[in-house]
Amino acid sequence: YLARVKGCFKKLLDPDSGDLPGVTRLNGRLRVEGYIRCIDRKVGKYTFSAEAVGDDAKDAATEFEFVGMATENESVVRCFPATGRTHQIRVHLLHLGFPIANDSCYGGELRQDCTLPLIPHVRQEAHLDKGQSAEPEEAATMHPSGIFLHAL
């Protein structure tokens, strides 16, 4: 996979940049290894931890390699998932502090882009007490029609 992330990812490869839990440096790559678990099933939001937390935590590992700068403030990163967990690459990049640039669910910025237009995400919410019958409310939020993460 290729991802376009916020910031200069190359700086993270420097051993003097500090250590993060669950992260090791290997020959020009970073390996994130730990556990992913769902923290909000309604919206499908996941989080990372270096240690297993809760019964639903699943092991996940991804290696990352700096490719180059896309802009002055964004990098292109090659991603090598070793496991196939839901949102794994997105969660691991957020843990590293380099979220996918336009992934508003995981630390990126919601932006208008003619190649990835914003579209409404509609979910239905039922706010009914027992015995009531009414149409459920609809709540719409905007999100990009795609994120800067592409399979090779």
* Radius of gyration in angstroms for the set of CA atoms belonging to the chain, rounded to a whole number: 18
Each residue's pLDDT, cut to its tens digit, for the chain (152 residues) gives: 999 999 999 999 998 888 999 999 999 999 999 999 999 988 889 999 999 988 899 999 999 999 999 999 999 999 999 999 999 999 999 999 999 998 888 988 876 666 655 566 555 444 445 555 545 455 566 665 678 898 98
End-to-end CA distance of the chain: 5
Question: How many residues does this entry show for the chain?
Answer: 152
State residue 108's pLDDT score: 84
pLDDT for 84 equals 95
Element (H, E) at 34: strand 29-40
Closest by Cα among 60, 59, 64, 57 to 25: 64
Q: How far is CA 113 from CA 72, 77, 122, in A?
A: 18, 20, 20
d(CA 7, CA 69): 9
What confidence score (pLDDT) does residue 54 get? Answer: 86
Which residue blocks in 34-135 are alpha helix, DSSP H? 88-96
10 touches 98 (CB < 8 A): no
What is the amino acid identity at position 52?
A
What local confidence, expressed as pLDDT, does residue 104 receive?
84
Whether the CB-CB separation of 70 and 76 falls below 8 Å is answered with yes
